Structure 1
Amino acid sequence: MMMNRRTFMRSSVACSALLATGPAWIGKTAYKTPVRITKGPSGHWFGYYDKWQVDPSGRFALGCRVGFEERSPLGSDKLEIGLIDLEEGNRWKKIGETNAWGWQQSCMLQWIPGSSQEVIWNDRQGDTYVSRTYHIQTEQTRTLPEPIYTLAPNGSFAIGTAFNRIQNLRPGYGYAGISDPYQHIKAPDEIGLYTMDLKTGSTTSLLSLADLAAIPHLGEDVSDNWHWFNHLLVSPDSKRLLFLHRWRPEILENQIMARTGFVTRMITVDTAGKDLYVADPSGNSSHFVWRDPNHILVWTRPVGKQNGFWLIKDKTKEMELIGEEAMDRNGHNTYVPQTNEEWVLNDTYPDKERKITLYLYHIPSNRKVILGKFHSPERFVGEWRCDLHPRCDQQGRRVFFDSTHEGSRQMYYLDISDIVGS
């Protein structure tokens, strides 16, 4: 059904699906009332946008539960891990807990790619961070010796980095409970990136912080800064790693500084730590996703160009601006599965009215479909803000997201099969 641009719909949950404006197209209405799959009084959420929340069958979703809001986690605060049966009234089953988590990325909870039975998350064991795997059929848990940041799409290995280092230099993205042993060293050689075999737990160091600090940035020496790695992601063919190398000139003094005052460059490297390439040297890289083994869609402002979502070809200078008008604000972008990378799922940060927009963008037709606008109460700010972090199920037919528009942190989904399938 085609709609006039002044047409709109309202819902009982105060969400709206407005038609996006654009010079070359008119969108169609896509509004459906979100289905809430968790309820209070406890808060529930999943975490980051680049991981599988739902199993390959589409029946089971993962989630986290916590009994407090509006403060930073302490090392003693436990997070409950749950399995939600979407076909049995969204029944919650506790499958574990963790002392290693944060508000933005939770505990890196996710399904192991290719598996319909095994999930993984990070935890703390004594004075070390580890990861746990759980088999939903046998209900057995295994412990791996290092925490994970991201998993290879082939399901065979993980990539990790030092979470206490992240917490020291970007609070809210690391974990409380274990201090950074190198907190007085600007670019330690002892920590950096590593791979871990998901079956054996065998780990291999790839790159150290000292290695990256020694590489000049736009011709300038950056070694005399405090360095860390963040936001790791493995290419679809499991052959290359993408990550952000960040640094700041001084140690943090407060939470306001945690969100500002650092420089970023986006790096790719192979899984042996070789063939390193600075994919975006601008210093502005933010959220990103691999489109295929050779291309990365990233929000950035390349040197001499405008802000936007740029499709960058790895190991080349080739780049293309995607959705110049439709996707003109930073958000958490992914490609909708099973759509030949034609559809992008995205969100925004809160606008002046504290509404977060959730939308789809169809690249070939330059068509934007707004799925809803969700109010974020003012108390959800800073480290404990609740970004939607939208993610699809593995069939690409439902969008799952975290939201506070009903007053507490809960999880929801929307069916998009009639949009991406048409």
Structure 2
Amino acid sequence: MSSDRRTFLTQLAAVSIAGATSFARSDESQTFPTRFITKGPRHHWFGYYDKLQFDVSGRYVLGMQVPFEHRSPVADDVIEIGMVDLQDNDRWISLGRSTAWNWQQGCMLQWLPGSESTVLWNDREDDYFVCRLLDVKTQQGRTIPHPVYSVSPDGKTAVTPDFRRIADVRPGYGYTGFPDPLADDLAPSDSGIFRIDLETGTANLIIDLAQIASLGEIPNAQPGIKHYFNHLLFNPDGSRFIALHRWRYPDGKRLTRMITANPDGTDIRIVIPNGYASHFIWRDPTHILSQSKNLLGNSNWGDFLFEDREGGTVEEIGHGVLDPSGHLSYLPGNKWILDDTYPKGKERLQTPHLYEIASNRRIDLGHFHLPKVYTGEWRVDTHPRLSRDGRYVCIDAVDGTNGRQLCLIDIGSIAR
């Protein structure tokens, strides 16, 4: 990598179409050291914002590598799994490969919680999806005969939806190759959320779609709506997990309820029942920050803090300041929220930003141009991810002719 690409940069509001290293300025005229840590000709990204991308030391940053862009993946498209060594000139280290992936969430690549050196990702083997686990120090690996989505904080348990069904009802979030055998069933009892024992490899269906479709009131219920689950996440102590219960209408529109449950699927609570739930994150074991609307007199989308119980307290956070459509995380200590935006304005700028709860102030971390060719299923959301200590943010962003790449932002001046 050339020396100019290693120079710490900031992003100006007017980012060039080339999108390569440029300058960013926050609302308070702060600047944040920023650099792309991967380069072409291959394209790199990580995907969703709620997975552990940084190892415990903060030295190694996980990513995926692919030789093409601007189309949907097919079953035999292979991506390379790897990590970037931030202390060795951003050297790319290959770890494996996968044929079970999508542009938005990759292959669920992440560091195994509770481990210093084990990573995991989903893959395809013969006629089913699997999960690979690899110790990057010893190179010892093993395979779980089920894919995973969210892993408990102790690294022993995972929960997962049916990726075949997601691929059928929401292309771009499931995996191609295996059709949903229950595609004609609107709410099957044999599909739903599975609990995976990562030590034994056993899997059990803990919440089925027939069950959730009959639980409580379905907003705007109509004949022909098709139910599915997506976006699962354990809380910080592993005592409960979130899942989005979604249903698609015959015209393609969809609504969403947020539910939580115990790891065995019991004690299901409908936390957001009104049909409007989107990006979310746990603040602590009993509170969830999520985007919704038609709440507290606000008919527009906003960021709301929900208590994890039906009919619990609700508080709007950052009205008019914190973006109501971005991907949310809390910095360690829960005083700051990390968020981003979708492309805005003629320049199509994406803006990861920090929001300080006590002062109601927002600090932009940069403005990244997203060319129009990146749209729909293969768009590049920045999906900001934090290092374990909160010092670094890694995003997916377009680096000019290099295409999608991993970009590192040093927010140590705030994290400290």
Normalising to structure 1: TM-score of the pair?
A: 0.90
Aligned position for 2:327: 332
Q: 2:339 aligns with which of 329, 346, 349?
A: 346
Aligned position for 2:414: 419
1:16 maps to a residue whose letter is A
1:276 aligns with 2:271: no
- Deviation per CA, 1:339-385: give whole Å up to 9, x if none: x1111000000012210011000101112111101000110000000
Alignment of 1:131-210 (within 5 A): 131-210=131-210
Aligned position for 1:401: 395
Aligned position for 2:383: 389
Aligned position for 2:92: 92
Q: Distance in 1 between matches of 2:73 and 2:287?
A: 36
- Do the aligned partners of 2:355 and 2:362 also contact (CA within 8 Å) in 1? yes
- Do the aligned partners of 1:166 and 1:173 also contact (CA within 8 Å) in 2? yes
Change (3 A) 1:222 1:200: farther
Alignment of 1:4-403 (within 5 A): 13-19=21-27, 28-217=28-217, 221=221, 224-250=224-250, 257=252, 261-303=253-295, 305-306=297-298, 307-315=301-309, 316-336=311-331, 338=332, 340-353=333-346, 354-403=348-397
Give the superposition deviation at 1:237. 1.0
Q: Distance in 1 between matches of 2:40 and 2:370?
A: 16
- Deviation per CA, 1:286-340: give whole Å up to 9, x if none: 000000010000011145632210000011430100001211431000001x3x1
- Do the aligned partners of 1:213 and 1:222 also contact (CA within 8 Å) in 2? no
User: Unpaired runs of 5+ in structure 2?
Assistant: 1-11
Change (3 A) 1:138 1:222: farther
Q: Distance in 2 between matches of 1:269 and 1:220?
A: 24
Deviates more, 1:212-221 or 1:60-69: 212-221
User: Unpaired runs of 5+ in structure 1?
Assistant: 1-7, 20-27
- Do the aligned partners of 2:323 and 2:339 also contact (CA within 8 Å) in 1? no
Identity %: 42
- Do the aligned partners of 1:100 and 1:124 also contact (CA within 8 Å) in 2? yes
Q: Distance in 1 between matches of 2:79 and 2:356?
A: 37
Deviates more, 1:289-298 or 1:31-40: 31-40
Q: Distance in 2 between matches of 1:314 and 1:302?
A: 19
Q: Distance in 1 between matches of 2:62 and 2:323?
A: 31
Q: Distance in 1 between matches of 2:382 and 2:260?
A: 27
- Deviation per CA, 1:57-93: give whole Å up to 9, x if none: 1111111000000000000100100121111111111
- Deviation per CA, 1:121-141: give whole Å up to 9, x if none: 000111100100011111122
- Do the aligned partners of 1:216 and 1:222 also contact (CA within 8 Å) in 2? no
Q: Distance in 1 between matches of 2:220 and 2:13?
A: 53
Query: Matched residue pairs, number?
Result: 396
Q: Per the alignment, in what secondary structure is the counterpart of residue 351 of structure 2?
A: strand
Give the superposition deviation at 1:214. 1.2
Q: Distance in 2 between matches of 1:85 and 1:121?
A: 19
- Do the aligned partners of 2:219 and 2:275 also contact (CA within 8 Å) in 1? no
* C-alpha RMSD of matched pairs (Å): 1.7
- Do the aligned partners of 2:380 and 2:404 also contact (CA within 8 Å) in 1? yes
Q: Distance in 1 between matches of 2:50 and 2:81?
A: 18
- Do the aligned partners of 2:24 and 2:32 also contact (CA within 8 Å) in 1? no
1:388 maps to a residue whose letter is T
Give the superposition deviation at 1:273. 1.1
Q: Per the alignment, in what secondary structure is the counterpart of residue 377 of structure 2?
A: helix
Aligned position for 2:8: none
- Do the aligned partners of 2:21 and 2:36 also contact (CA within 8 Å) in 1? no
- Do the aligned partners of 1:240 and 1:268 also contact (CA within 8 Å) in 2? yes
Give the superposition deviation at 1:406. 2.6
Normalising to structure 2: TM-score of the pair?
A: 0.92
